């Protein structure tokens, strides 16, 4: 039984750690990138079940990455959770992402949500 | 003229009263009735003669027998007979005149009588034979035989009777008185003669009558015998056919007279007709046929055939015919004339008809034209009045009736000047009329003139009229078109007054008003300029009046001229246009003006009329500029604030996130197990972070709301879910405090609504959490319902302490809490309700509060079912 993978795209290191812990608790394999560019590079290769995407990334905006994910056929099964401090942005993007989380995000909240987003176990 | 005597009737016979008287009478009669000795027609004579001869022959033979019977010897008898035979033969001697033969015959007969008497020995009764013979001889209707016979008788009786009475009379008395017997016999012979003569005469007369008829008639009459031979022809017939009267005697009808067909073909048809007639003895109808003349010509005749009957037997036919050539010709001519006449008549009738039609058409046309004229005159808006040279009204249309108050009936024929011309003008009118009639010209004629007229009811009113004289043959009539211009005069006065007022008004406006006409080819003409142009521009009024282009080319600021020209172009296209531009006043000052122009099309003159207003807006402009500056500054400030907000929002949340996150991680023993105290402290950290997060959120919301930067995200959502989510979120909180938390969703609430679900949840969460916070016992109820057709409502009611009235006034203000102080007794920024209210207002709704101290509180949020879009300021 392989754990599903999650990709965390977050530039704030603290947030990244918290997200990682939450997802680990939800039994995901974690991968973290701090940079939009790296994210794209990774996304070209891997197929995470869940992506935690911070909208406020430097250089490349979270929106762009979101669009990339959505455009990528390989990643149609990938669930995307957006994180943002901007309530308004959050509202406006509600339709595009599977979930929008408003910072500060409760760790518990994230863990529970992640559990729910787990793809069904692949019985080996 | 021949007298036709009345025939003797049978009653008037001899042998009555005295002989002398009778003789006298007879003598008178005889005078008138003496036969004229006309000959018998040949055929009749022949037949009679044949009869008489036969009689004579009979006598010749008979006398022999008689003699023998009487005792005379044969020789004697034969001799007697021979004498008679000789006489008979002589009577038949050919090529002798009739008179001769007749005489012979008659002598023979008398001889026979004498012989009979002799042979009978003077037997008295035998003397009657003489009478018989005389009667027979009369048949010849000829003097000579009759007289000879008579003479013979007389001689015989006179001579032989006297000399040898024994041979004449056998009566002894006769021997004794022979002269007596001779006289008696003589008398009776005479009487017999007279009778004979009379009958002869009558016969003659009758014959004469017939002949007369035959001779005098214009009709041709031909007698035919059974062999179709002509037995007689009357003079008319003879004349018609060109033969002598006796020429055709005994000639067959068809050989000479050949009644034939019209086309000349000889037919026996008609002849057959006559034959038939003769054979059947029937009358034939009148037929037309062609008769041939002796000279070969033919003529058309009309004839009728009638059978001659004698004793019931047809012995011949009479053909009566008429030359109808003339008649036919006349008929033909008549017919021709008639035909011609008919043709002429027909032609003439046609001509007349045509003429009639034309006339009728013309008449109709004329009538129609008249009607049309009348219609025109009557529907004319002007009164049309016609007056003759005498000044009398001859025509008056409907409008005239209306204007002057006189009906047609009342005014026709009346004097015009007496009726509709006011007193003061009457003389002038008469003079004018006289002048025209004399000179043939009139100053008032053929042009529009304004004057006063008189209404029937006595009042004077202004009219405009135009009079035209018309010459109709010898007469002159005047036709006037009259219009009541009372109204127009009034309108003119009103207009003048209005114009006056306008000028006054315009003068009182400090703005400059102008009216310009823009012609089709782009010329601008000043129709009106208000006097304010002078103080406005500092240039004299006349400068603008004289030259329209002064304003756009001199007065308008050079930098704005292009734009102003553009505006002028827009106006010229018919577009209303407004523009603000600068003017350079005469003294060099620059002012701002607003030029608003409205265009109207003057259809009559095919040009545009621009109505414009020029207002000095310099002050306003300055104010505007200042305002613009302030606005820009404010906008800038706002922009900075927004940026700050955004930044702050992000900056604040990030460390908060870290704090919260790690504290929670600690709590779940991610970094090792915690002691109880460590756990408690961690929980405190978490709670504080939550609180701080809420504060930050509320602050940020408030800032956003203040800046007007808060945008609603309107989508459809399920209100039921809204309520349920809220309750789920807060149920723990309520349970912890031992409060009930219930919801009630009305059935008339739509399943989906439009709105910003997140903000609505914020509102509801705020209200419910407040309710839970401030209530110690009991519970909180959330109700979702539709108070009316346009709104839906969220109602949060609690069983808390209630809110005092004074507090209710400021409770929705920011940073205010119930007891007027910012305390942390009830954790909260005091912003919650303020934000709730602002959000509600933003959504186009309303929030109300019902509360009494000790009786709980009820907050109701009313929201429109049709949300209004937020306006961005």
Helix residue ranges, H only, B139-252: 143-155, 161-163, 165-168, 172-176, 178-216, 235-241
Mutation for A interface: B643, B651, B657, most A CBs within 10 A: B657
Residues of chain A in contact with residue B661, where contact means CB-CB under 8 angstroms, are 14-15, 17-18, 104-107
The C-alpha atoms of residue A9 and residue B127 are separated, in whole angstroms, by 206
Which phi-psi region, left, alpha or beta, contains residue B742 (left: φ > 0; alpha: ψ -120 to 50)? beta
The C-alpha atoms of residue B804 and residue B852 are separated, in whole angstroms, by 6
**In angstroms, what separates the C-alpha of B848 from chain A's closest C-alpha?**
27
Residues of chain B in contact with residue A85, where contact means CB-CB under 8 angstroms, are 649-650, 652-654
Residues of chain B in contact with residue A54, where contact means CB-CB under 8 angstroms, are none
B219 touching chain A per CB within 8 A: no
Residues of chain A in contact with residue B688, where contact means CB-CB under 8 angstroms, are none
Query: B646, A21: Cβ pair inside 8 Å?
Result: no
Of the candidates A85, A92, A108, which has its C-beta nearest B664's C-beta? A108
Q: How far is CA B74 from the centre of its chain?
A: 124
B658 touching chain A per CB within 8 A: yes
Query: A15, B658: Cβ pair inside 8 Å?
Result: yes
3-state class of B486 per DSSP? Answer: helix
The whole-number pLDDT of residue B823 equals 44
Of the candidates A18, A25, A56, which has its C-beta nearest B662's C-beta? A18
The whole-number pLDDT of residue B870 equals 43
B689 touching chain A per CB within 8 A: yes
Q: Do B873 and B865 touch, CB atoms closer than 8 A?
A: no
Residues of chain B in contact with residue A88, where contact means CB-CB under 8 angstroms, are 710-711, 713
Residues of A in CB contact (< 8 Å) with B are 12, 14-15, 17-18, 21, 25, 56, 85-88, 91-92, 94, 103-108
Residue A5 has what DSSP assignment?
E
Query: A18, B664: Cβ pair inside 8 Å?
Result: yes
Structure tokens at B309: 């009957």
Structure tokens at B177: 């008185």
pLDDT tens digits, one per residue of A47-67: 888 999 988 888 888 888 888
Residues of chain B in contact with residue A17, where contact means CB-CB under 8 angstroms, are 661-662
- Cross-strand partners of B290: B260, B300
Structure tokens at B857: 């509180």
B608: CB partners within 8 A, 6+ apart: B517, B518, B571, B572, B574, B599, B600, B601, B602
Residue A4 has what DSSP assignment?
P
**In angstroms, what separates the C-alpha of A101 from chain B's closest C-alpha?**
12
The whole-number pLDDT of residue B279 equals 65
Q: Taking the alpha carbons of B742, B748, B752, B757 in that order, is the dihedral positive or negative?
A: negative
Residues of chain B in contact with residue A56, where contact means CB-CB under 8 angstroms, are 650
Mutation for B interface: A87, A99, A110, most B CBs within 10 A: A87
The whole-number pLDDT of residue B789 equals 87
Closest residue in B to A108 (Cα–Cα): B664
B802-810 long-range contacts, CB within 8 A, separation 24+: B802/B851, B802/B852, B802/B853, B802/B854, B802/B855, B802/B856, B802/B857, B803/B849, B803/B851, B803/B853, B803/B857, B804/B853, B808/B849, B808/B851
Mutation for A interface: B643, B664, B712, most A CBs within 10 A: B664
Query: A104, B656: Cβ pair inside 8 Å?
Result: yes
- Cross-strand partners of A84: A102
Query: A14, B658: Cβ pair inside 8 Å?
Result: yes
DSSP B786-826: -SSSSEEEEEEEE-S----HHHHHHTTSTT--TTSS--SSS
Of the candidates B653, B668, B713, which has its C-beta nearest A104's C-beta? B653
Q: How far is CA B612 from the centre of its chain?
A: 60
Structure tokens at B286: 């009148």
**In angstroms, what separates the C-alpha of A86 from chain B's closest C-alpha?**
7
Query: B713, A91: Cβ pair inside 8 Å?
Result: yes
Q: How many CA atoms lie within 13 A of B756 on its CB side?
A: 24
Closest residue in B to A94 (Cα–Cα): B713
Helix (H) or strand (E) holding B233, with range, is: strand B230-233
- Cross-strand partners of B601: B608
User: How many residue pairs bridge chain A and chain B with CB atoms within 8 Å of each other?
Assistant: 70
Instruction: Output A3 or B452, whichever has higher pLDDT.
Output: B452
* Residue B450: other Cβ atoms inside 10 A: 12
B785 touching chain A per CB within 8 A: no
DSSP B88-125: HHHHT-TT--HHHHHHHHHHHHHHHHHHHHHHTTS-GG
B758 touching chain A per CB within 8 A: yes
Of the candidates B660, B665, B758, which has its C-beta nearest A21's C-beta? B665
pLDDT tens digits, one per residue of A21-34: 888 888 889 999 99
**In angstroms, what separates the C-alpha of B729 from chain A's closest C-alpha?**
12
Query: A103, B646: Cβ pair inside 8 Å?
Result: no
Residues of chain B with pLDDT under 50: 1-2, 8-12, 260-262, 821-825, 870-873
Query: B653, A103: Cβ pair inside 8 Å?
Result: yes
**In angstroms, what separates the C-alpha of B714 from chain A's closest C-alpha?**
10
DSSP A39-100: HHHHHHH---SEEEEES--SSS-HHHHHHHHHH-GGGTT-EEEEEES-HHHHHHTTTTSSEE
Of the candidates A18, A88, A91, which has its C-beta nearest B661's C-beta? A18
Mutation for A interface: B644, B648, B651, B653, most A CBs within 10 A: B653
The torsion defined by the Cα of B494, B499, B504 and B508, in degrees rounded to 10, comes to 130
Residues of chain B in contact with residue A52, where contact means CB-CB under 8 angstroms, are none
Query: A86, B661: Cβ pair inside 8 Å?
Result: no
The C-alpha atoms of residue B422 and residue B403 are separated, in whole angstroms, by 15
The C-alpha atoms of residue B248 and residue B229 are separated, in whole angstroms, by 9
The C-alpha atoms of residue B255 and residue B267 are separated, in whole angstroms, by 12
Structure tokens at B162: 């006297």
The C-alpha atoms of residue B101 and residue B107 are separated, in whole angstroms, by 10
The C-alpha atoms of residue B676 and residue B681 are separated, in whole angstroms, by 9
B653 touching chain A per CB within 8 A: yes
Closest residue in B to A92 (Cα–Cα): B713
Query: B711, A85: Cβ pair inside 8 Å?
Result: no
The whole-number pLDDT of residue B867 equals 62
Mutation for B interface: A11, A16, A18, A22, most B CBs within 10 A: A18
Query: B665, A107: Cβ pair inside 8 Å?
Result: yes
Tell me the pairing of strands B791-798 and B779-785: antiparallel
B839 touching chain A per CB within 8 A: no
Query: A105, B661: Cβ pair inside 8 Å?
Result: yes
Closest residue in B to A105 (Cα–Cα): B657
**In angstroms, what separates the C-alpha of A113 from chain B's closest C-alpha?**
15
ipTM of this model? Answer: 0.82
Query: B650, A56: Cβ pair inside 8 Å?
Result: yes
Helix residue ranges, H only, B380-468: 398-404, 408-411, 416-420, 423-439
- Cross-strand partners of B851: B857
3-state class of B475 per DSSP? Answer: strand
Query: A103, B670: Cβ pair inside 8 Å?
Result: no
Task: Please give the angle made by the CA atoms of B523, B525 and B528, to the nearest 5 degrees.
Answer: 160
Q: How far is CA B7 from the centre of its chain?
A: 86
From the number of C-beta atoms within 10 Å of its C-beta (0-12, 13-18, 19+), residue B145 rates as: buried
DSSP B566-602: HHHHHHHTT--EEEEEEEE-TTS-EEEEEEEEEEEEE
Query: B650, A85: Cβ pair inside 8 Å?
Result: yes
């Amino acid at each position: 039984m392989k754990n599903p993978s999650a990709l965390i795209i977050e530039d704030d290191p603290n947030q990244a750690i918290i997200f990682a812990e939450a997802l680990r608790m939800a039994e995901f394999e974690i991968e973290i990138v701090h940079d939009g560019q790296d994210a794209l590079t990774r996304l070209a290769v891997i197929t995470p079940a869940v992506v935690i995407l911070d909208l406020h990334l430097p250089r490349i905006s979270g929106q762009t990455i979101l669009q990339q994910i959505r455009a990528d056929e390989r990643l149609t099964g990938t669930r995307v959770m957006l994180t943002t401090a901007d309530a308004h942005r959050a509202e406006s993007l509600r339709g595009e992402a599977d979930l929008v989380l408003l910072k500060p995000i409760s760790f518990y909240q994230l863990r529970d949500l992640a559990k729910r987003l787990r793809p069904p176990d692949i019985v080996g | 003229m021949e007298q036709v005597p009345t025939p003797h009737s049978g009653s008037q016979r001899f042998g009555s009263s005295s002989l002398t008287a009778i003789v006298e009478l007879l003598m008178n009669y005889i005078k008138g009735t003496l036969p004229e000795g006309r000959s018998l027609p040949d055929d009749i004579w022949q037949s009679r003669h044949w009869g008489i001869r036969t009689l004579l022959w009979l006598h010749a033979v008979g006398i022999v027998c008689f003699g023998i019977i009487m005792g005379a010897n044969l020789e004697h008898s034969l001799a007697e007979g021979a004498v008679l035979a000789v006489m008979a033969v002589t009577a038949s001697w050919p090529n002798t005149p009739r008179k001769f033969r007749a005489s012979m015959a008659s002598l023979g007969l008398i001889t026979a009588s004498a012989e009979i008497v002799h042979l009978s020995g003077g037997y008295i009764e035998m003397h009657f034979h003489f009478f018989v013979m005389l009667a027979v001889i009369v048949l010849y209707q000829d003097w000579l035989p009759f007289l000879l016979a008579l003479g013979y008788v007389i001689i015989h009786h006179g001579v032989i009777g006297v000399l040898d009475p024994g041979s004449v009379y056998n009566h002894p008395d006769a021997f004794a008185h022979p002269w007596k017997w001779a006289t008696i016999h003589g008398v009776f012979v005479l009487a017999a003669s007279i009778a004979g003569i009379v009958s002869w005469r009558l016969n003659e007369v009758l014959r004469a009558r017939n002949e007369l008829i035959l001779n005098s008639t214009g009709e041709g009459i031909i007698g035919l015998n059974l062999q179709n031979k002509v037995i007689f022809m009357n003079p008319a017939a003879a004349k018609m056919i060109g033969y002598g009267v006796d020429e055709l005697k005994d000639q067959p009808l068809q050989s000479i007279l050949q009644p034939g067909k019209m086309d000349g073909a000889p037919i026996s048809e008609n002849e057959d007709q006559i034959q038939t007639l003769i054979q059947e003895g029937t009358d034939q109808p009148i037929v037309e046929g062609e008769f041939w003349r002796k000279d070969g010509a033919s003529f058309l005749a009309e004839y009728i055939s009638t059978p001659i009957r004698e004793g019931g037997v047809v012995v011949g036919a009479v053909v009566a015919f008429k030359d109808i050539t003339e008649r036919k010709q006349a008929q033909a001519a008549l017919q021709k004339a008639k035909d011609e006449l008919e043709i002429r008549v027909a032609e003439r009738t046609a001509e007349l008809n045509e003429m009639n039609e034309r006339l009728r058409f013309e008449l109709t046309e004329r009538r129609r034209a008249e009607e049309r004229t009348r219609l025109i005159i009557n529907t004319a808006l002007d009164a049309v009045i016609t007056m003759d040279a005498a000044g009398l009204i001859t025509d008056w249309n409907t409008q005239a009736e209306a204007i002057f108050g006189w009906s047609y009936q009342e005014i026709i024929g009346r004097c015009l000047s007496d009726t509709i011309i006011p007193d003061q003008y009457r003389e002038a009118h008469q003079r004018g009329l006289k002048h025209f009639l004399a000179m043939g010209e009139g100053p008032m004629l053929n042009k529009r003139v304004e004057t006063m007229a008189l209404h029937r009811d006595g009042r004077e009113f202004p009219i405009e009229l135009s009079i035209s004289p018309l010459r109709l043959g010898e007469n002159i009539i005047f036709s006037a078109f009259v219009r009541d211009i009372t109204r127009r005069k009034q309108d003119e006065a009103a207009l003048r007054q209005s114009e006056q007022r306008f000028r006054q008004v315009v003068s009182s406006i400090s703005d400059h008003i102008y009216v310009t006409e823009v012609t089709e080819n782009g010329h601008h003409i000043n129709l009106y300029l208000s006097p304010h142009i002078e103080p406005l521009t500092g240039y004299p009024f006349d400068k603008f009046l004289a030259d329209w282009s002064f304003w756009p080319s001199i007065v308008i600021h050079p930098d704005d001229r292009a734009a102003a020209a553009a505006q002028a172009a827009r106006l010229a296209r018919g577009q209303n246009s407004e523009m603000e531009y600068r003017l350079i006043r005469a003294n060099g000052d620059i002012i701002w003006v607003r030029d608003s122009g409205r265009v109207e099309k003057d259809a009559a003159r095919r040009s545009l009329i621009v109505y414009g207003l020029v207002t000095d807006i310099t002050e306003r402009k300055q104010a505007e500029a200042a305002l613009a500056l302030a606005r820009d500054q404010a906008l800038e400030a706002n922009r900075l604030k927004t940026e700050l907000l955004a930044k702050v929002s992000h900056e604040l949340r990030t460390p908060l996130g870290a704090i919260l996150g790690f504290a929670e991680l600690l709590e779940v023993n991610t970094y090792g197990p915690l002691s109880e105290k460590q756990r408690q402290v961690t929980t405190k950290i978490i709670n504080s972070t939550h609180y701080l997060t809420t504060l930050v959120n509320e602050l940020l919301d408030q800032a956003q709301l203040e800046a007007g930067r808060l945008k609603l995200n309107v989508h459809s959502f399920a209100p039921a879910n809204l309520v349920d989510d809220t309750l789920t979120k807060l149920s723990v909180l309520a349970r912890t405090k031992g409060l009930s938390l219930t919801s009630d969703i009305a059935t008339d609430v739509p399943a989906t609504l439009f709105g910003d679900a997140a903000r609505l949840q914020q509102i509801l969460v705020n209200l419910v959490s407040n309710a839970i916070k401030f209530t110690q016992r009991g519970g909180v109820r959330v109700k979702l319902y539709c108070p009316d057709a346009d709104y839906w409502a969220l109602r949060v009611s609690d069983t808390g302490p209630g809110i005092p009235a004074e507090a209710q006034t400021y409770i929705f203000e920011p940073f205010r809490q119930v007891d007027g102080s910012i305390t942390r007794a009830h954790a909260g920024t005091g912003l919650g309700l303020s934000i709730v209210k602002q959000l509600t207002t933003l959504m186009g709704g309303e929030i109300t509060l019902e509360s009494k101290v000790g009786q709980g509180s009820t907050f109701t949020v009313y929201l429109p079912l049709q949300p209004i879009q937020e306006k961005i300021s």
